[in-house]
Chain A
Amino acid sequence: MIRTSETMYKYLRPDKTFPHVWCPGCGIGIVMGALVRAIEKTGFTKDEIVLVSGIGCSGRMSTYLDFNTLHTTHGRALSFATGIKLANPELNIIVVMGDGDATAIGGNHLIHSCRRNIDLTALIVNNNIYGMTGGQYSPTTPMEHKASTAQYGSIEKPFDICKLVEACGASFVARSTTYHAKMLDAMLSRAIAKKGFSVVEAMSQCPVQYGRRNKKGSPVDMMMWYKDNSVSNPAFKKIPPGEVGEQFPVGILVDIEQPDYLERYSKIVKKACGDKL
């Protein structure tokens, strides 16, 4: 068993201020722990990992972890990561984004990274809200839920991130929650090892901006909600459509083999060089 706290000491930047910036009970710390355990499992050195993050609560992750870290502009993390991967395919690139980061302002980059199947790992921390800016509704805020910009309840239909990226052609798609922290690190290590574009959606409680406004109770209550409503993917498929309710599937949802962008690009190089190769 990989112990989180002990492993963290190996990967945290000692000169940063701890405890970290996230609110008490925030799930992002659990997600970061799972990420570190996953990396520890893959056996890559710190120098071989690039951690790219966007803007928002989850974006702070890049500050704390001792890898090559890049804290980009809001929503653009995947485009920066694409450039890094193309320039140095040897690097293992993990892109941490929030739900607003990845599916609102960065939605275009997300769907095209899937379509392109570039070999990156996207970790989308979904807390259903814009936490850092004060609880505005995001593309994953459920209908009728409240946010600081949806005081009467959200009237927009939320995204199912996993369905979205699956439809766009991602090679590996998985979902886990902060309650299923152990499954989360297993999904992440699979995603990191996977060649092609992989997405792991980590459902993570925001007890302050989302939970409090929507009477979701304590951080523990929110995690228990994940426990009660999550269903393994095979079991989820057997639920009759009318009885799904708030339930959602967790685990590996997509895992397919297909050539990634760089593999296809090497064919272009061969064509361009003709006999010269």
Chain B
Amino acid sequence: MKQKNDDPIHIFSRWCKRCGICIAICPKNVLESGKDGYPYAARPRDCILCGLCDIHCPDYAITVKKNPDIKEVEHEET
């Protein structure tokens, strides 16, 4: 998938196994599965930089880079 420069989400599809965990775990529904099954950031502007996709990717194929305009949110669980 094409990625814009200001997109906070970087997907390294070479390592991605298309398990879909990142898409499901995103609290803001930012990611979607493309036609090829690889995830892409469909709504990058909605990203709150919680990093849940990053820490739940079993293949280290997705990184969320901080965009200076958006405040980083630490996500608390349970």
Binding site for B on A (CB under 8 A): 1, 3-6, 8-9, 12, 18-20, 22-30, 33-34, 37, 178-183, 185, 207, 218-220, 223-224, 230, 232, 250-251
Contacts and interface: CB of A to CB of B under 8 A. Distances in A.
Given A182-B75, A220-B20, A230-B78, A26 B58 contact: yes
Contacts of B24: 220, 223-224
A8 B58 contact: no
Nearest to A34: B55
Contact of B57 (A4, A9, A223, A251): A4
A255 B66 CA distance: 36
A4 B60 contact: yes
B21 interface: yes
B51 interface: yes
B78 A27 contact: no
A178 B51 contact: no
Question: Chain B CB within 10 Å — which of A8, A9, A34 has the most?
Answer: A8
Given A1-B72, A18-B15, A19-B15, A180 B78 contact: yes
B23 to A, nearest CB: 8
Nearest to B62: A5
A26 B16 CA distance: 12
B54 A183 contact: no
Contacts of B17: 19, 23-25
Contact of A8 (B14, B60, B74): B60
B78 A250 contact: yes
A1 B58 contact: no
Interface residues of B, number: 28
Contacts of B42: none
9 contacts: A4-B55, A4-B57, A12-B60, A19-B61, A24-B19, A181-B55, A182-B55, A220-B20, A220-B24
Contacts, number: 91
A137 to B, nearest CB: 24
Given A25-B58, A30-B58, A223-B56, 20 more contacts: A3-B51, A4-B57, A5-B12, A5-B57, A19-B15, A19-B61, A20-B59, A22-B58, A24-B18, A25-B17, A27-B58, A28-B58, A29-B58, A29-B59, A178-B56, A180-B78, A182-B75, A218-B20, A219-B19, A219-B21
B22 to A, nearest CB: 10
B54 to A, nearest CB: 5
B69 interface: no
A30 B56 contact: yes
Contacts of A218: 19-20
Interface in B14-69: 14-21, 24-25, 51, 54-64
B6 interface: no
A6 to B, nearest CB: 6
Given A25-B21, A181-B56, A220-B20, A232 B63 contact: no
A8 B55 CA distance: 11
A28 B59 CA distance: 9
Question: Chain B CB within 10 Å — which of A28, A37, A179 has the most?
Answer: A179
Contacts of A30: 55-58
